[in-house]
RNA sequence: GGAGGAAUGGCAGAGUGGUUUAACGCGGCGGUCUUGAAAACCGUUGACUGUAACAGGUCCGGGGGUUCGAAUCCCUCUUCCUCCGCCA
C-alpha cells in the first residue's frame, strides 16, 4: 500500500510514476480524492476528540458528585453526557466512512515506479539492462527440447502428473528427481555463503499474510485456497518469510536482515495454455529458493544491486547464457517499485525463459505490514523490503537439460556435481 | 474432536467498576562515583493519532455490548497452556 504521506507530499512524482505504468486517468484522479477525504478525516477526528475530552471530563465530575452525595446535580450532568454522545456517534460514523473510503481506494493504487524504471506498456518495452557475455549458444539441428529429453532419459513424467493431480503437475524421477534436490541444495548453500539465514516456513498462510505482501486482494485468483480452514497455499516463499516481520518494530537498527527459504510454490495460473507453457515452462507446482531482504530505506537500491550479483553468480556457475531486463512500468508487478528479470536462453526452444525476478518494494509492503524501525531521532519509519528468486527450478532445469545436451547425453556443470553425485545424464 | 484454564508495556508480573495519567521488579538509556569497568545510588524509559509547538484523543489478544465512567462486568471470535481422545 502506498504511503498516504507520499501521496500528499510528492503528488507530482506519484502522478509521473503512475503515467509510466499507464494507469488510467480515473485511477490517477483517485489521488486527489483520497487526499481530500483524508483532510475531512482529520477535521472530523479533531472535532470528535474535543467531544471525547468533554465526555472524559463529565465522567470525572459525575464521579466526584456521587462521592459527595450530590445526586441531583449528577443527574443533570448525565443528561449532558447523552447529548454529547449523540454528537460523537454521528462523528464516529462520518469518520468510519472516510476511513473506509481511504482504505479501499489506497489499496487499489500500485507502487510508485523508481525513477530509473523505463516507461512502457508491455514486455516488449522492457530494457535490456545487461547481456551476459559471449554469443548465444547454437545447438545441433537434432537438439531436443527438455520435454523430449525428459522422456529419453526418464527424468520426469507429465502423464503421471496428470494422472495423479492434473495438468501442470510434474512427477520427477530418477536423475531428474536427484537433479531437483541438487539444485535446491546448491542454491541454499550459495545463499548461506552470502549471509542469508535459512528459513523453512509454513506452506499455507492466512489472509493477513497474503495481504501483507500484496497477493490479496488483487491476485486472489492466482492462489489455491483451502476453504475449510481459510488458508492459502503459498505462491512463493516471499509470503511467509516476509510476514515474519509483519507488525514488527525493529528496536535497534538490526539491518541488514537477510533471509532465504526453499519452498514449493503453488500457482493456479488460470487461463494460460498453449505452446509457450509446454513442459516445465509453466506449471502449477514448482520449487524455488527465495531471497528476502529487510533494509534501511537509504540502502535498499544498493542491496538490489547486490542481489542481482548474487543471482548472476548462480547462472554463471550453472554455465547458462543469460540476460538481465529492467522491467518497464507497464510490465512491473503491482507491489514493486523496480524489478529486474533474469532470463536464460534456451537454445533448443530458441527463446528466453524467465528464471528470476528481483524487486525492491520500498515501503509498499512494509506499509501494509506495519514493518518499521526506530531511527536515530526516535521516530518510527517504514523499512524497505526486497526479494528475488535464487532461483526457480523448472526453467533452470529446462535450460540445463537443453543447453548442456551434446547428443550423447547431458553434461552436469562443475559446480553442481558435488550435489548430484554424477557428472552427466546418459 | 471433548473438558478446563489463560491472554496486561522489550521481558516478567500486580491490578475484579471511579487520582490506573497501569504498581513492584528485570532489561534499556542518561547521570553520580571511577584511570576504565562492575557494584551502588539518582533520574529516565510503550505504540498510534494529532499540533508550528503544546494540548487533546485512541490502545490492557480482536470485535461488539452494559455504564455517567471498563484492564476490571456481559456476548463473540482468535490464540496459547493443562488433561483426555486420535495420530506421522
- Interface confidence, given as ipTM, is 0.84
The percent of residues above 90 in pLDDT, for chain A, comes to 62
From the Cβ of A43, is strand B under 7 Å away? no
The answer to whether some atom of strand B lies closer than 7 Å to the beta carbon of A381 is no
- Smallest CA–C1' separation from A49, nucleotide: B57
For residue A28, the SS3 value is helix
CA-to-C1' span, A202 to B82 (A): 26
Query: What are the pLDDT digits (tens) for A263-281?
Result: 999 998 765 666 566 788 8
Name the nucleotide with the smallest C1'–CA separation from A206.
B78
Q: Is the CB of A82 under 7 A from strand B?
A: yes
- Is the distance between the Cβ of A89 and the closest atom of strand B smaller than 7 Å? no
Cα separations in angstroms, A379 against A252, A253, A370:
12, 12, 14
Q: Please tell me chain A's helix, strand, coil percentages from 3-state DSSP, rounded to the nearest 5.
A: 45, 20, 35
Check if residue A76 sits with its Cβ under 7 angstroms from strand B. no
CA of A252 to C1' of B10 (A): 12
**The pLDDT value given to residue A208:** 87
**Strands A372-374, A249-250: pairing kind:** parallel
Could you report the per-residue pLDDT of A34-82, keeping only the tens digit for each?
999 999 999 999 999 899 988 888 888 888 887 777 777 888 888 888 8
Task: Determine whether the distance from the CB of A47 to the nearest atom of strand B is below 7 Å.
Answer: no
Sorted by sequence, the CB contacts under 8 Å of residue A147 that are 6+ apart come out as A158, A278, A279, A280
Q: What is the mean pLDDT of chain A?
A: 90
| Through-space separation of residue A230 CA and nucleotide B33 C1' in angstroms | 61
Span of A60-69, A239-248, A328-337 with lowest mean pLDDT: A60-69
A350 touches strand B (CB under 7 A): no
Amino acid at each position: 500500500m502506498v504511503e498516504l504521506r507520499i501521496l500528499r507530499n510528492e503528488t507530482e512524482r506519484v502522478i509521473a510514476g503512475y503515467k509510466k505504468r499507464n494507469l488510467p486517468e480515473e485511477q490517477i484522479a483517485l489521488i486527489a480524492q483520497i487526499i481530500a477525504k483524508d483532510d475531512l478525516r482529520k477535521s472530523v477526528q479533531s472535532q470528535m476528540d474535543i467531544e471525547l475530552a468533554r465526555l472524559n471530563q463529565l465522567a470525572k465530575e459525575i464521579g466526584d458528585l456521587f462521592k459527595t452525595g450530590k445526586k441531583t446535580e449528577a443527574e443533570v450532568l448525565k443528561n449532558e453526557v447523552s447529548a454529547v454522545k449523540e454528537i460523537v456517534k454521528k462523528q464516529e460514523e462520518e469518520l468510519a466512512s472516510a476511513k473506509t473510503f481511504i482504505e479501499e481506494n489506497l489499496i487499489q493504487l500500485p507502487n510508485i515506479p523508481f525513477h530509473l524504471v523505463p516507461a512502457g506498456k508491455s514486455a516488449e518495452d522492457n530494457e535490456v539492462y545487461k547481456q551476459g557475455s559471449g554469443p548465444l549458444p547454437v545447438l545441433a539441428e537434432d537438439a531436443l527440447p527438455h520435454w523430449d529429453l525428459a522422456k529419453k532419459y526418464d527424468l520426469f513424467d507429465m502423464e503421471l502428473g496428470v494422472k495423479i493431480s492434473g495438468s501442470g503437475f510434474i512427477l520427477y524421477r530418477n536423475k531428474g528427481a536427484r537433479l531437483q534436490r541438487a539444485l535446491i541444495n546448491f542454491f541454499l548453500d550459495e545463499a548461506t555463503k552470502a549471509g542469508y539465514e535459512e528459513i523453512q516456513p509454513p506452506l499455507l498462510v492466512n489472509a493477513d499474510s497474503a495481504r501483507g505482501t500484496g497477493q490479496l486482494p488483487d491476485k486472489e485468483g492466482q492462489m489455491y485456497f483451502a476453504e475449510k480452514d481459510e488458508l492459502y497455499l503459498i505462491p512463493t516463499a516471499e509470503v511467509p518469510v516476509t510476514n515474519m516481520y509483519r507488525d514488527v518494530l525493529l528496536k535497534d537498527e538490526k539491518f541488514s536482515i537477510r533471509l532465504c527459504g526453499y519452498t514449493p510454490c503453488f500457482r493456479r495460473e488460470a487461463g494460460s495454455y498453449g505452446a509457450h507453457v509446454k513442459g516445465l515452462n509453466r506449471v502449477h507446482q514448482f520449487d524455488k529458493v527465495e531471497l528476502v531482504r529487510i533494509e534501511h530505506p537509504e540502502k535498499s537500491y544498493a542491496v538490489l544491486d547486490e542481489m542481482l550479483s548474487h543471482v548472476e553468480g548462480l547462472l554463471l556457475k550453472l554455465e547458462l547464457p543469460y540476460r538481465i531486463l529492467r522491467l518497464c512500468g507497464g510490465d512491473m508487478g503491482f507491489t514493486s517499485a523496480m524489478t529486474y528479470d533474469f532470463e536464460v536462453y534456451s537454445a533448443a526452444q530458441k527463446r528466453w525463459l524467465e528464471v528470476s525476478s528481483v524487486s525492491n518494494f520500498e515501503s509498499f509492503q512494509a506499509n501494509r505490514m506495519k514493518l518499521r524501525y526506530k531511527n536515530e531521532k526516535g521516530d518510527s519509519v517504514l523499512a524497505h523490503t526486497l526479494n528475488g528468486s535464487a532461483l526457480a527450478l523448472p526453467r533452470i532445469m529446462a535450460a540445463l537439460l537443453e543447453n548442456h545436451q551434446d547428443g550423447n547425453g547431458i553434461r552436469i556443470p562443475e559446480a553442481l556435481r558435488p550435489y548430484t553425485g554424477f557428472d552427466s545424464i546418459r
